[in-house]
Chains A and B, each alone.
Chain A
Amino acid sequence: MQQQDISMEQQDNRPIDEVDRRIILATQAGLPLAEQPYDVLARQLDLAVEELMERLRAMQQSGVIRRIAAVPNHYALGYRANGMSVWNVPDEIVGELGARVGALEFVSHCYQRPRHLPLWPYNLFAMVHGKTQDAVEQGVEQIALLLGEYCRGHEVLYSKRILKKTGLRITG
Protein backbone atom coordinates (compact mmCIF):
# COMPACT_ATOMS: atom_id res chain seq x y z
CA MET A 1 0.00 0.00 0.00
CA GLN A 2 2.95 2.28 0.51
CA GLN A 3 3.95 1.71 -3.11
CA GLN A 4 0.47 2.55 -4.22
CA ASP A 5 0.57 5.81 -2.27
CA ILE A 6 3.80 6.84 -3.86
CA SER A 7 2.58 6.20 -7.38
CA MET A 8 -0.55 8.24 -6.63
CA GLU A 9 1.64 11.10 -5.52
CA GLN A 10 3.73 10.97 -8.62
CA GLN A 11 0.67 11.12 -10.82
CA ASP A 12 -0.98 13.98 -9.02
CA ASN A 13 1.78 16.21 -7.88
CA ARG A 14 4.58 18.19 -9.26
CA PRO A 15 7.54 16.92 -7.27
CA ILE A 16 9.31 19.33 -4.98
CA ASP A 17 12.97 20.00 -5.63
CA GLU A 18 15.91 20.63 -3.35
CA VAL A 19 15.23 24.38 -3.03
CA ASP A 20 11.58 23.69 -2.10
CA ARG A 21 12.80 21.24 0.48
CA ARG A 22 15.09 23.87 2.00
CA ILE A 23 12.17 26.30 2.09
CA ILE A 24 10.03 23.71 3.88
CA LEU A 25 12.76 23.10 6.42
CA ALA A 26 13.16 26.82 7.02
CA THR A 27 9.44 27.55 7.38
CA GLN A 28 7.96 24.53 9.12
CA ALA A 29 8.63 26.01 12.55
CA GLY A 30 7.03 29.27 11.47
CA LEU A 31 7.75 32.60 9.79
CA PRO A 32 9.63 35.29 11.68
CA LEU A 33 7.48 37.93 13.34
CA ALA A 34 9.25 40.73 11.52
CA GLU A 35 7.91 43.39 9.18
CA GLN A 36 9.28 41.59 6.13
CA PRO A 37 9.33 37.94 7.13
CA TYR A 38 9.78 36.56 3.62
CA ASP A 39 12.76 38.87 3.14
CA VAL A 40 14.37 37.58 6.33
CA LEU A 41 13.85 34.02 5.16
CA ALA A 42 15.10 34.69 1.65
CA ARG A 43 18.33 36.07 3.07
CA GLN A 44 18.74 33.03 5.31
CA LEU A 45 18.21 30.77 2.32
CA ASP A 46 20.30 32.87 -0.03
CA LEU A 47 17.38 33.26 -2.44
CA ALA A 48 15.78 36.28 -4.05
CA VAL A 49 12.62 37.12 -2.12
CA GLU A 50 10.65 37.00 -5.38
CA GLU A 51 11.78 33.43 -5.98
CA LEU A 52 10.93 32.41 -2.41
CA MET A 53 7.43 33.87 -2.69
CA GLU A 54 6.92 32.36 -6.14
CA ARG A 55 7.90 28.93 -4.86
CA LEU A 56 5.60 29.26 -1.85
CA ARG A 57 2.81 30.19 -4.25
CA ALA A 58 3.59 27.21 -6.48
CA MET A 59 3.61 24.85 -3.49
CA GLN A 60 0.23 26.23 -2.46
CA GLN A 61 -1.10 25.61 -5.94
CA SER A 62 0.20 22.06 -6.09
CA GLY A 63 -1.14 21.34 -2.61
CA VAL A 64 2.19 20.79 -0.87
CA ILE A 65 1.24 23.79 1.26
CA ARG A 66 -2.38 23.55 2.34
CA ARG A 67 -2.64 27.00 3.76
CA ILE A 68 -0.57 29.73 5.35
CA ALA A 69 -1.90 30.44 8.78
CA ALA A 70 -1.58 31.72 12.28
CA VAL A 71 -1.95 28.16 13.58
CA PRO A 72 -4.06 28.05 16.75
CA ASN A 73 -3.20 25.69 19.55
CA HIS A 74 -6.65 24.18 19.95
CA TYR A 75 -5.80 22.51 23.19
CA ALA A 76 -4.67 25.76 24.83
CA LEU A 77 -7.81 27.46 23.50
CA GLY A 78 -10.09 25.06 25.30
CA TYR A 79 -10.67 22.37 22.71
CA ARG A 80 -9.46 19.72 25.08
CA ALA A 81 -11.60 16.82 23.97
CA ASN A 82 -10.73 15.08 20.78
CA GLY A 83 -11.99 11.74 19.76
CA MET A 84 -10.46 9.74 16.99
CA SER A 85 -13.52 7.97 15.64
CA VAL A 86 -12.79 4.89 13.55
CA TRP A 87 -15.34 3.22 11.30
CA ASN A 88 -15.70 -0.03 9.46
CA VAL A 89 -17.49 0.75 6.20
CA PRO A 90 -17.63 -1.14 2.90
CA ASP A 91 -14.52 -0.48 0.79
CA GLU A 92 -16.62 -0.02 -2.37
CA ILE A 93 -18.30 3.08 -0.98
CA VAL A 94 -15.69 4.44 1.44
CA GLY A 95 -14.89 7.32 -0.92
CA GLU A 96 -18.42 8.61 -1.03
CA LEU A 97 -18.95 8.17 2.70
CA GLY A 98 -15.60 9.71 3.56
CA ALA A 99 -16.36 12.82 1.54
CA ARG A 100 -19.61 13.31 3.45
CA VAL A 101 -18.03 12.73 6.86
CA GLY A 102 -15.08 15.00 6.01
CA ALA A 103 -17.49 17.82 5.19
CA LEU A 104 -18.91 17.88 8.73
CA GLU A 105 -17.88 21.01 10.57
CA PHE A 106 -16.56 19.35 13.71
CA VAL A 107 -14.44 16.85 11.77
CA SER A 108 -10.93 18.23 11.46
CA HIS A 109 -9.39 15.28 9.62
CA CYS A 110 -10.96 12.43 7.69
CA TYR A 111 -8.85 9.69 6.15
CA GLN A 112 -9.10 6.25 4.64
CA ARG A 113 -6.50 3.93 6.13
CA PRO A 114 -5.86 0.22 5.64
CA ARG A 115 -7.47 -2.44 7.82
CA HIS A 116 -5.25 -4.95 9.57
CA LEU A 117 -7.47 -7.95 10.13
CA PRO A 118 -8.12 -9.39 12.58
CA LEU A 119 -6.44 -6.81 14.82
CA TRP A 120 -7.86 -3.71 13.21
CA PRO A 121 -11.10 -3.77 11.18
CA TYR A 122 -11.53 -0.01 10.66
CA ASN A 123 -10.90 1.74 7.34
CA LEU A 124 -12.27 5.25 7.89
CA PHE A 125 -10.86 7.70 10.43
CA ALA A 126 -12.58 10.93 11.43
CA MET A 127 -11.05 13.20 14.04
CA VAL A 128 -13.80 14.88 16.04
CA HIS A 129 -13.00 17.96 18.10
CA GLY A 130 -14.93 19.59 20.88
CA LYS A 131 -14.57 21.37 24.16
CA THR A 132 -16.16 18.56 26.10
CA GLN A 133 -16.47 14.82 25.72
CA ASP A 134 -20.25 15.37 25.38
CA ALA A 135 -19.71 17.56 22.33
CA VAL A 136 -17.46 14.93 20.80
CA GLU A 137 -20.01 12.19 21.50
CA GLN A 138 -22.72 14.21 19.79
CA GLY A 139 -20.46 14.56 16.77
CA VAL A 140 -19.83 10.83 16.68
CA GLU A 141 -23.59 10.23 16.93
CA GLN A 142 -24.11 12.45 13.92
CA ILE A 143 -21.52 10.50 11.91
CA ALA A 144 -23.23 7.23 12.89
CA LEU A 145 -26.55 8.60 11.64
CA LEU A 146 -24.97 9.74 8.40
CA LEU A 147 -23.35 6.36 7.77
CA GLY A 148 -26.50 4.48 8.72
CA GLU A 149 -26.50 0.86 7.65
CA TYR A 150 -23.09 1.19 6.00
CA CYS A 151 -21.50 1.33 9.45
CA ARG A 152 -20.45 -2.19 10.39
CA GLY A 153 -18.78 -1.13 13.59
CA HIS A 154 -17.06 1.84 15.12
CA GLU A 155 -15.09 2.98 18.13
CA VAL A 156 -14.00 6.30 19.55
CA LEU A 157 -10.49 6.63 20.92
CA TYR A 158 -10.30 9.58 23.25
CA SER A 159 -7.00 11.26 23.80
CA LYS A 160 -5.79 10.98 27.35
CA ARG A 161 -2.51 12.79 27.07
CA ILE A 162 -0.45 14.57 24.47
CA LEU A 163 2.98 13.02 24.79
CA LYS A 164 4.60 14.87 21.92
CA LYS A 165 3.42 17.44 19.42
CA THR A 166 5.47 19.42 16.97
CA GLY A 167 4.71 20.84 13.55
CA LEU A 168 5.44 18.67 10.57
CA ARG A 169 9.15 18.03 10.59
CA ILE A 170 11.03 16.62 7.73
CA THR A 171 14.58 15.98 8.62
CA GLY A 172 17.06 17.50 6.23
Chain B
Amino acid sequence: MLLKNQAASFSVRVRTGRGYNMTNRLPKTGKLSVLDIPLSLSALEKCLLNEYQRGFPLCEQPYAEIARQLEVSEAEVLATLASLQQRGLISRVGPVFAPRRAGSSTLAALAVPEQDLEAVAAIVNGFAEVNHNYQREHAWNLWFVVTAPDDARIREVLGEVEVATGLAVLDLPLERSFYIDLGFPLWC
Protein backbone atom coordinates (compact mmCIF):
# COMPACT_ATOMS: atom_id res chain seq x y z
CA MET B 1 0.00 0.00 0.00
CA LEU B 2 2.67 2.41 -0.94
CA LEU B 3 0.57 4.56 -3.15
CA LYS B 4 -2.23 5.76 -0.99
CA ASN B 5 -0.88 9.12 0.07
CA GLN B 6 1.24 9.90 -2.90
CA ALA B 7 -0.96 12.42 -4.59
CA ALA B 8 0.79 13.80 -7.59
CA SER B 9 2.57 17.09 -7.37
CA PHE B 10 4.52 18.84 -10.06
CA SER B 11 8.04 17.75 -10.86
CA VAL B 12 7.98 15.05 -8.26
CA ARG B 13 9.46 11.79 -9.36
CA VAL B 14 7.19 8.84 -9.10
CA ARG B 15 9.65 6.84 -7.07
CA THR B 16 8.47 4.29 -4.64
CA GLY B 17 9.90 1.47 -2.67
CA ARG B 18 10.07 -2.21 -3.29
CA GLY B 19 7.30 -3.76 -5.26
CA TYR B 20 6.57 -0.49 -6.93
CA ASN B 21 9.94 -0.31 -8.53
CA MET B 22 8.85 -0.45 -12.12
CA THR B 23 12.02 0.68 -13.78
CA ASN B 24 12.73 -2.79 -15.11
CA ARG B 25 9.38 -2.70 -16.86
CA LEU B 26 9.94 0.58 -18.64
CA PRO B 27 9.98 0.56 -22.40
CA LYS B 28 13.49 0.85 -23.80
CA THR B 29 12.86 4.48 -24.57
CA GLY B 30 11.60 5.17 -21.07
CA LYS B 31 13.21 7.29 -18.41
CA LEU B 32 12.28 8.03 -14.86
CA SER B 33 8.80 9.36 -14.71
CA VAL B 34 8.32 12.98 -13.83
CA LEU B 35 4.95 14.58 -13.76
CA ASP B 36 4.88 17.94 -15.41
CA ILE B 37 1.44 18.23 -16.84
CA PRO B 38 -1.41 20.16 -15.27
CA LEU B 39 -3.44 17.16 -14.25
CA SER B 40 -3.99 15.89 -10.80
CA LEU B 41 -3.07 12.23 -11.01
CA SER B 42 -2.27 9.81 -8.25
CA ALA B 43 0.92 7.80 -8.30
CA LEU B 44 -1.09 4.71 -9.15
CA GLU B 45 -2.75 6.49 -12.06
CA LYS B 46 0.57 7.68 -13.42
CA CYS B 47 2.04 4.25 -13.07
CA LEU B 48 -0.85 2.57 -14.86
CA LEU B 49 -0.64 5.17 -17.64
CA ASN B 50 3.09 5.05 -18.12
CA GLU B 51 4.14 1.49 -17.40
CA TYR B 52 1.42 -0.50 -19.08
CA GLN B 53 1.77 0.83 -22.60
CA ARG B 54 3.06 -2.63 -23.26
CA GLY B 55 3.22 -5.85 -21.34
CA PHE B 56 -0.35 -5.88 -20.09
CA PRO B 57 -0.52 -9.40 -18.68
CA LEU B 58 -1.91 -12.17 -20.85
CA CYS B 59 -3.04 -14.47 -18.05
CA GLU B 60 -6.32 -15.53 -16.45
CA GLN B 61 -6.43 -12.61 -14.01
CA PRO B 62 -4.39 -9.80 -15.52
CA TYR B 63 -5.67 -7.09 -13.19
CA ALA B 64 -4.76 -9.23 -10.18
CA GLU B 65 -1.31 -9.67 -11.73
CA ILE B 66 -0.89 -5.91 -12.10
CA ALA B 67 -2.10 -5.50 -8.52
CA ARG B 68 0.55 -7.97 -7.39
CA GLN B 69 3.25 -6.11 -9.33
CA LEU B 70 2.24 -2.77 -7.83
CA GLU B 71 1.34 -4.00 -4.36
CA VAL B 72 -2.18 -2.67 -4.44
CA SER B 73 -5.48 -4.51 -4.52
CA GLU B 74 -7.07 -5.84 -7.67
CA ALA B 75 -10.17 -3.76 -6.90
CA GLU B 76 -8.02 -0.62 -6.84
CA VAL B 77 -6.47 -1.45 -10.19
CA LEU B 78 -9.87 -2.08 -11.75
CA ALA B 79 -11.43 1.04 -10.24
CA THR B 80 -8.50 3.22 -11.26
CA LEU B 81 -8.48 1.94 -14.83
CA ALA B 82 -12.24 2.44 -15.04
CA SER B 83 -11.87 5.98 -13.76
CA LEU B 84 -9.03 6.77 -16.20
CA GLN B 85 -11.18 5.44 -19.00
CA GLN B 86 -14.22 7.44 -17.89
CA ARG B 87 -12.15 10.61 -17.83
CA GLY B 88 -10.84 9.85 -21.31
CA LEU B 89 -7.22 9.53 -20.18
CA ILE B 90 -6.93 6.00 -21.50
CA SER B 91 -8.81 5.12 -24.62
CA ARG B 92 -8.97 1.40 -23.88
CA VAL B 93 -7.18 -1.54 -22.32
CA GLY B 94 -6.38 -4.14 -24.91
CA PRO B 95 -4.33 -5.24 -27.88
CA VAL B 96 -2.78 -2.68 -30.22
CA PHE B 97 -2.88 -4.13 -33.71
CA ALA B 98 -0.27 -3.49 -36.35
CA PRO B 99 -1.59 -1.60 -39.34
CA ARG B 100 -1.77 -3.61 -42.55
CA ARG B 101 -1.44 -6.90 -40.74
CA ALA B 102 -5.00 -7.50 -39.68
CA GLY B 103 -6.31 -6.04 -42.89
CA SER B 104 -5.32 -3.29 -45.24
CA SER B 105 -4.93 0.44 -44.69
CA THR B 106 -3.67 3.62 -46.22
CA LEU B 107 -3.02 7.23 -45.30
CA ALA B 108 -4.91 9.57 -47.58
CA ALA B 109 -5.02 13.33 -47.94
CA LEU B 110 -7.29 15.89 -49.53
CA ALA B 111 -6.64 19.53 -50.37
CA VAL B 112 -9.96 21.03 -49.34
CA PRO B 113 -10.98 24.65 -49.97
CA GLU B 114 -11.31 26.22 -46.52
CA GLN B 115 -15.03 26.98 -46.87
CA ASP B 116 -15.82 23.34 -47.72
CA LEU B 117 -13.85 21.82 -44.89
CA GLU B 118 -16.73 21.00 -42.55
CA ALA B 119 -18.82 19.45 -45.29
CA VAL B 120 -15.94 17.38 -46.68
CA ALA B 121 -14.85 16.27 -43.21
CA ALA B 122 -18.40 15.08 -42.56
CA ILE B 123 -18.40 13.06 -45.79
CA VAL B 124 -15.03 11.47 -44.95
CA ASN B 125 -16.03 10.73 -41.34
CA GLY B 126 -19.18 9.09 -42.62
CA PHE B 127 -17.18 6.09 -43.82
CA ALA B 128 -16.88 3.37 -41.16
CA GLU B 129 -13.50 2.52 -42.76
CA VAL B 130 -12.07 5.93 -41.74
CA ASN B 131 -10.68 5.64 -38.23
CA HIS B 132 -8.50 8.75 -38.01
CA ASN B 133 -9.16 12.11 -39.58
CA TYR B 134 -7.03 15.16 -38.80
CA GLN B 135 -7.16 18.68 -40.06
CA ARG B 136 -3.59 19.84 -40.68
CA GLU B 137 -2.06 23.20 -41.51
CA HIS B 138 -1.03 22.68 -45.11
CA ALA B 139 -2.48 22.89 -48.61
CA TRP B 140 -3.19 19.17 -48.10
CA ASN B 141 -5.30 19.98 -45.08
CA LEU B 142 -7.34 16.84 -44.44
CA TRP B 143 -5.48 13.64 -43.53
CA PHE B 144 -7.27 10.41 -42.83
CA VAL B 145 -6.51 6.73 -42.38
CA VAL B 146 -8.65 4.19 -44.20
CA THR B 147 -8.71 0.63 -42.86
CA ALA B 148 -10.53 -2.26 -44.49
CA PRO B 149 -10.32 -6.04 -44.72
CA ASP B 150 -8.61 -5.82 -48.12
CA ASP B 151 -7.08 -3.44 -50.66
CA ALA B 152 -10.06 -3.66 -52.98
CA ARG B 153 -12.30 -2.06 -50.35
CA ILE B 154 -9.66 0.63 -49.69
CA ARG B 155 -9.62 1.56 -53.38
CA GLU B 156 -13.42 1.56 -53.36
CA VAL B 157 -13.63 3.91 -50.38
CA LEU B 158 -11.07 6.31 -51.89
CA GLY B 159 -13.02 6.27 -55.15
CA GLU B 160 -16.24 7.02 -53.30
CA VAL B 161 -14.56 9.87 -51.40
CA GLU B 162 -13.39 11.36 -54.70
CA VAL B 163 -16.85 11.13 -56.21
CA ALA B 164 -18.61 12.51 -53.13
CA THR B 165 -16.20 15.42 -52.65
CA GLY B 166 -15.12 16.14 -56.21
CA LEU B 167 -11.53 16.25 -54.94
CA ALA B 168 -8.48 14.17 -55.86
CA VAL B 169 -7.19 11.90 -53.10
CA LEU B 170 -3.49 11.59 -52.33
CA ASP B 171 -3.05 7.88 -51.57
CA LEU B 172 0.02 7.16 -49.42
CA PRO B 173 0.03 3.52 -48.31
CA LEU B 174 2.69 2.39 -45.90
CA GLU B 175 5.66 0.83 -47.69
CA ARG B 176 7.91 0.21 -44.74
CA SER B 177 7.75 0.79 -41.02
CA PHE B 178 10.83 1.96 -39.14
CA TYR B 179 9.97 1.82 -35.52
CA ILE B 180 9.28 -0.65 -32.83
CA ASP B 181 6.10 0.45 -31.16
CA LEU B 182 6.73 0.47 -27.44
CA GLY B 183 4.43 3.26 -26.52
CA PHE B 184 6.32 6.35 -25.49
CA PRO B 185 7.33 7.79 -22.14
CA LEU B 186 4.67 10.14 -20.83
CA TRP B 187 6.68 11.70 -18.06
CA CYS B 188 10.32 12.31 -18.69
Interface residues of A (CB under 8 A from B): 1-2, 4-6, 9, 13, 16, 20-21, 24, 27-31, 33-39, 49, 53, 56-57, 59-60, 63-74, 76-79, 84, 94-95, 98-99, 101-103, 105-114, 116, 119-120, 125, 129, 131, 155, 157-171
Contacts and interface: CB of A to CB of B under 8 A. Distances in A.
Contact of B135 (A34, A63, A163): A163
In this complex, the member of B29, B84, B172 whose beta carbon has the largest number of chain A beta carbons within 10 angstroms is B172
A139 to B, nearest CB: 12
B102 A24 contact: yes
B20 interface: no
Interface of B: 29, 37-39, 48-49, 52-64, 74, 78, 81-82, 84-85, 87-104, 107, 121, 124-125, 128-138, 140-144, 147-149, 151, 154-155, 170-186
A99 B107 CA distance: 20
10 contacts: A27-B94, A35-B63, A53-B58, A68-B56, A159-B135, A163-B133, A163-B134, A165-B133, A168-B99, A169-B128
A159 B134 contact: yes
Contact of A70 (B52, B59, B104, B170): B52
B25 to A, nearest CB: 12
Contact of A68 (B87, B96, B107): B96
Nearest to A29: B92
A170 B102 contact: yes
A105 B177 contact: no
A38 to B, nearest CB: 7
A157 B133 contact: no
A170 B103 CA distance: 7
Given A56-B58, A70-B48, A77 B96 contact: no
Contacts of B137: 157-158, 160
A34 B75 CA distance: 10
Nearest to B92: A30
Contact of A69 (B53, B59, B61, B171): B53
A33 B102 CA distance: 24
A74 B37 CA distance: 11
Nearest to B101: A64
Contacts of A111: 174-178
B54 A67 contact: yes
Which 6 pairs between the two chains have the least Cβ-Cβ distance?
A: A30-B92, A102-B178, A102-B179, A98-B178, A78-B37, A67-B54
Contacts of A164: 124-125, 130-133, 144
B93 A71 contact: yes
A159 B151 CA distance: 27
Given A110-B178, A163-B135, A67 B53 contact: yes
Contact of A71 (B82, B90, B125): B90
A23 B186 CA distance: 29
A69 B39 contact: no
Contacts of B98: 63-66
